[in-house]
Structure 1
């Protein structure tokens, strides 16, 4: 337990940051799962509508990763690696 006021404040800040990080990381994981589901659908159908949906999902993943990087949830190299891997999966489709 905290022994002084500054330690109590640091506990509150850590709690706030943990919740913020959890929001971004869980959102990115969810969007990546959606991307892979759409990728499987596109691989089987090859329709332009599915490709459009896949591109839209990828765009939202990129956006969320970039926002997380801006708020120091992700390191810039981690964000770049995640985006690069997703682009590589799209390229093989």
Structure 2
């Protein structure tokens, strides 16, 4: 346990940041899971909206420094590729 006033302050700040970051990261994980759930349920509209939300959530987390920008970009790219592949496979048989 820290005893110096500046170390105590740092401990308080770290605790606040950790709680904030965990909340943001939890929201990101939930958004990504919603995209995956929509894909497994084969729901086009839900997949599109979930991808939009997940992209926004990942970009926000990256801009705040919760996750690295490259990781957010990679996850967005992979999710978008999966959704686009799903949408194109759904569109071609009916067209």
TM-score (norm 1): 0.85
1:62 aligns with: 55
Q: What is the 5 A alignment of 1:35-74?
A: 35-42=35-42, 50-74=43-67
Q: Distance in 2 between matches of 1:78 and 1:71?
A: 13
- Structure 1 residue 89 corresponds to structure 2 residue 86: no
What is the Cα deviation at residue 59 of structure 1?
A: 0.6
In structure 1, how many angstroms separate the alpha carbons of the residues matched to 2:68 and 2:79?
Answer: 17
Paired position in structure 2 for 1:25: 25
Mark the runs of 5 or more structure 2 residues left unpaired by the alignment. Answer: 87-95
The answer for unaligned runs of 5 or more in structure 1 is 43-49
User: Cα deviations across residues 46-78 of structure 1 (Å, max 9, x unaligned)?
Assistant: xxxx32221111111111111111111111111
* TM superposition outliers: structure 1 runs of 4+ over 2 Å: none
> Alpha carbon RMSD of aligned pairs, Å?
1.1
How many residue pairs end up in the alignment? Answer: 86
Question: Equivalents in 1 of 2:40, 2:34: separation in Å?
Answer: 10
Give the alignment's TM-score, normalised by structure 2: 0.83
**How does 1:2-13 map onto structure 2 within 5 Å?**
2-13=2-13
